[in-house]
Amino acid sequence: MTALKTAIIYYSSTGTNYQLAREAEQAALDTGAETRLRRVKELAPREAIAANPAWLAHYDETAGVVPEAGLEDLDWADVLIFSCPTRYGSIAAQMKQFLDITGPLWSKGKLANKVVTAMTSAQNPHGGQEATILSLYTTMFHWGALVVTPGYTDQAVFEAGGNPYGTSATAAGDGEVEAPILKAARHQTNRALAVAGWLQQGRDAANGS
């Protein structure tokens, strides 16, 4: 089996989703996958970023360090892992803008059959995590991607608060993501990669290779 190409595409203002994305990348690397960790372009004006010290610190830490996500990363990947904070019960505009430029790939069918999965964070335990993940998945349903959720397939999901849609941190961007959440992110990543591996084997068998 060839190494699965895994793109981890995230947006983060204050670092929570960056932590989730990095955990997902490490989990993927640990399975032998090739990875690309990609940051969705920041769109907020500099004054808005500068007004929030945590946002400014995170922006300065990652801009120019983590490469910006591009359509070529989506095209390249077998597996796409998304992580994006909750904004008023939905996804951040920065991520939405990135999704909204995927038309050229979508129209050629190049996003169909990608294995995808999504994570999020919100400040409150019931701050809209499921809604955010569902709204990410809605775009992916239109792509014809194969959405792989964690469900309740591992004890790690229960220990992380029990969100079967995708790993969800309850965090305000002011600290480390808790270990059980990172463990659930690892399980979710491993599950998406396992399903992608089965698909790859099935395709290879069908093609006689």
Question: Which residues contribute to the site for ligand FMN (CB under 6 A)?
Answer: 12-17, 85-89, 121-124, 127-128, 171-173
CB count in 10 Å sphere of residue 72: 12
Nearer to ligand FMN, 88 or 158 (CB): 88
| Least distance to ligand FMN, CB of residue 126, Å | 8
| Least distance to ligand FMN, CB of residue 44, Å | 9
Nearer to ligand FMN, 129 or 139 (CB): 129
Q: Which residues touch 133 (CB under 8 Å, ≥6 apart)?
A: 118, 119, 120, 163, 165, 166, 168
Nearer to ligand FMN, 128 or 197 (CB): 128
Distance between CA atoms of residues 209 and 202, nearest Å:
10
- Closest to 42 (Cα-Cα) out of 60, 21, 24: 60
Q: Which residue is nearest to ligand FMN (CB)?
A: 127
| Least distance to ligand FMN, CB of residue 11, Å | 7
| Least distance to ligand FMN, CB of residue 199, Å | 30
Nearer to ligand FMN, 123 or 200 (CB): 123
| Least distance to ligand FMN, CB of residue 2, Å | 32
CB count in 10 Å sphere of residue 122: 23
Inter-axis angle of helices 179-206 and 16-30, to 10 degrees? 50
Nearer to ligand FMN, 88 or 152 (CB): 88
Q: Which residues of 176-202 are buried (b: 16+ CB within 10 A; e: fewer)?
A: ebeebbbbbbbbbbbbbbeebbebeee
